Amino acid sequence: MRSNHSWGTETEFNPLVHARGTVVTMTDELLARIDRIESTEAIRQLVARYSLALDMRDIDSLVGLFPEDIRVSRDASGRKELRAWFDETLRVQFDGTAHVTGGHVIEFDNPDHARGVVYSRNEHETGPEWVIMTMMYWDHYERVDARWYFRRRLPLYWFATDLNRPPIGDRKMRWPGREPYEGGWHGFWPTYREFWDRAGDHGGDVPEPAPIDEFLIRMRRGAPEKLNVRVR
């Protein structure tokens, strides 16, 4: 079920009369703005619930944050398949985890589809080692039957390393017993390479601020979202 609101339009007037007799005029534009606020909060709750369900190993609740037709791999889709993947990954690789989320940017394509970036600082108990991690998720969100879900979560990792071993240098993903590798943290963002390819300030004019809902689009520079990133 799609939203009935088309953001940024104003057509009909819907007067609401309060008990005290005050008339509040609700335009389509105002209703759409309220819907946007509610959607933004629902997406933020989605992220918070993901971390809690993941860390407390409530896998049924975790996969319920994704739509029923979620694609898990080239040949598998659905919540049951996703549950099996999470169960194996969390059971085999980690004894315990904690995901603490930070800044969250949310932009809307339309009332029922949004994208976002959320920072996450994670800790993992994995055998005899305590691995700390800084990462971000590149998310796509979708509203289905009046409920917001993750349509896709792409993890982008800066580093993972034992608590007592700072990951100085390249290939900062350093899981115990694995060869170090890159986590896509900078590779996903063309701006990072642009900065280091210059000898200094580019000297050009400062562009106008990005329009609402286009900050992430501008930073991505139209780069493709296909990026192979190992979970571990």
216 vs 15, higher pLDDT: 216
The rounded radius of gyration (Å) of the Cα atoms in the chain is 21
Confidence of residue 3 (pLDDT cuts 50, 70, 90): low
Give residue limits of the domains in the chain. Answer: 13-220
Helix or strand run (H / E) with residue 23:
strand 23-27
Paired tokens of 98: 């904690």
CATH of domain 13-220: 3.10.450.50
Paired tokens of 138: 């590149």
Q: Which residue has the tokens 């980690």?
A: 94
5-24 confidence digits (pLDDT tens):
555 444 444 445 445 556 56
161-199 confidence digits (pLDDT tens):
999 999 999 999 999 989 999 999 999 999 999 999 999
